[in-house]
């Protein structure tokens, strides 16, 4: 509503104003906003026209008190680890925010103590500030799932319940083994036979799952994997050191890495030795980070369908918050491979 100079702003229209304009009771207006199915179609139309004419905006806070719903979903965010190249959570958070908005919900981001995976959840749960949570970091053993489940707090996990396969909470994940098998097969189809693996330490469920895809693809072609694998921390420096050792001792012609961070380390090693990625030694990463898309000559990488993950997470949330709640099975999505210059066959074998 335009403000006229010299006059006080006009007060916003109220529920009573709508009732008077439509010639109905205030309860009827309330029903039109919160429970339209209770009204006859002609009555509902009359109230809706009055709402539009007056520019009435329902008091969301008051409505939330009545319905005990905040329409907020809590998501804990952690700081990006120093020395890494991946920012996969940025893509996921953006997709989740957009998809949640389309479903009439909003995402409430909160921080926590990096050393305490449960920090932050208790305050939001006690204050009923959110209707549900989206849980990530399931590779930590998912203590959040156990804690929230014990308190009957609705949540959906981005990531499988690695430490409890019989868990019944809803989850959405990306098939890392399939992604690494796809990456390895891509290299094998170009004629590479000595494809090395650089992954995370053995206590990483996700790392071991991704490694299994490399192992499976190699064994399906009858190729050995002994001496071609390394387990390290997820840093560029670790990828750099591991690739140097493998090049000296195993002489691979290609690398598949559990992350773009490790793959960046391999690119550093190749540059130091005067070797060209793609032409002399092929390299494939995982996560299709922004770094993978801009680093010369372009890093081939497994791309997680994070937009689809967000859609499935919101679907699961809607099921959890329905009356009665509906919990479906876990959803496992298949990644794709973004092929770039680092795995080009040009020059290989010449």
**Domain ranges in the chain?**
72-174+307-334, 176-304+337-343
* Residue 140 CB coordination number (10 Å): 14
Distance CA 145, CA 148 (A): 5
Collect all residues with Cβ–Cβ distance below 8 Å to 119 and sequence separation of at least 6. 112, 113
Predicted confidence at residue 9, as pLDDT, reads 41
The yes-or-no verdict on residue 325 having pLDDT over 80 is yes
Mean pLDDT, residues 193-215:
95
Q: Which residues neighbour 111 within 8 Å (Cβ) at sequence distance 6 or greater?
A: 76, 77, 78, 120
Angle at 337 between CA 316 and CA 298, to 5 degrees: 125
Specify the CATH class of 72-174+307-334 in words. alpha beta
Lowest mean pLDDT among 68-72, 327-331, 337-341: 68-72
| Other CB atoms within 10 A of residue 13 CB | 17
> Tokens 């749960």 map to which residue?
125
SS3 content of the chain, % helix, strand, coil (to 5): 45, 15, 40
What is the CATH number assigned to the segment(s) 176-304+337-343? 3.40.50.2300
Gap between the Cα atoms of 213 and 210, Å rounded:
5
pLDDT (tens digit per residue) in 153-173: 899 999 998 888 888 899 999
Per-residue pLDDT of 34-79, as tens digits, reads 778 788 999 999 999 998 888 887 654 444 434 457 889 999 987 7
| Identical fold between 72-174+307-334 and 176-304+337-343 | yes
Average pLDDT of the chain to the nearest whole number: 87
The pTM (predicted TM-score) of the whole model is: 0.77
For the sheet with 72-77, list strands across it. Answer: 106-111, 72-77, 132-135, 155-158, 171-174, 331-333
Check: CB of residue 170 under 8 Å from CB of residue 330: yes
């Amino acid at each position: 509503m335009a403000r006229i100079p010299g006059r006080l702003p006009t007060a916003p229209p109220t529920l009573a104003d709508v009732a008077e304009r439509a010639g109905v009771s205030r309860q009827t207006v309330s029903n039109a906003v919160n429970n339209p199915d209770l009204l006859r179609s002609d009555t509902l139309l009359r109230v809706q026209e009055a709402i539009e004419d007056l520019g009435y905006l329902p008091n969301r806070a008051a409505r939330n008190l009545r319905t005990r719903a905040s329409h907020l979903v809590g998501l804990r965010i952690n700081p990006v680890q120093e020395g890494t190249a991946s920012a996969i959570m940025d893509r996921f958070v953006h997709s989740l925010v957009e998809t949640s908005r389309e479903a009439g919900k909003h995402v409430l981001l909160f921080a926590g103590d990096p050393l305490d995976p449960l920090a932050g959840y208790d305050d939001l749960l006690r204050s009923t500030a959110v209707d549900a949570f989206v849980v990530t970091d399931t590779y930590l053993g998912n203590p959040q799932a156990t804690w929230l489940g014990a308190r009957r707090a609705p949540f959906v996990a981005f990531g499988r319940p690695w430490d409890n396969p019989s868990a019944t909470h809803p989850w959405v994940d990306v098939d890392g083994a399939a992604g690494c098998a796809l990456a390895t097969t891509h290299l094998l189809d170009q004629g590479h036979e000595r494809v090395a693996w650089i992954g995370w330490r053995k206590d990483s469920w996700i790392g071991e799952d991704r490694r299994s895809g490399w192992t499976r693809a190699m064994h399906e072609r009858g190729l050995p994997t002994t001496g071609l694998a390394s387990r390290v921390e997820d840093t560029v420096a670790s990828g750099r050191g591991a690739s140097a050792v493998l090049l000296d001792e195993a002489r691979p012609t290609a690398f598949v890495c559990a992350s773009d961070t490790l793959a960046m380390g391999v690119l550093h090693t190749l540059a130091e030795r005067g070797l060209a990625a793609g032409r002399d030694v092929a390299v494939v990463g995982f996560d299709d980070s922004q770094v993978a898309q801009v680093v010369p000559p372009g890093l081939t990488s497994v791309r997680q369908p994070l937009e689809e993950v967000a859609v499935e997470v919101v679907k699961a949330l809607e099921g959890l918050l329905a009356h009665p709640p509906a919990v479906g099975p876990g959803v496992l999505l298949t990644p794709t491979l973004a092929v770039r210059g680092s795995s080009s066959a040009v020059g290989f074998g010449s």
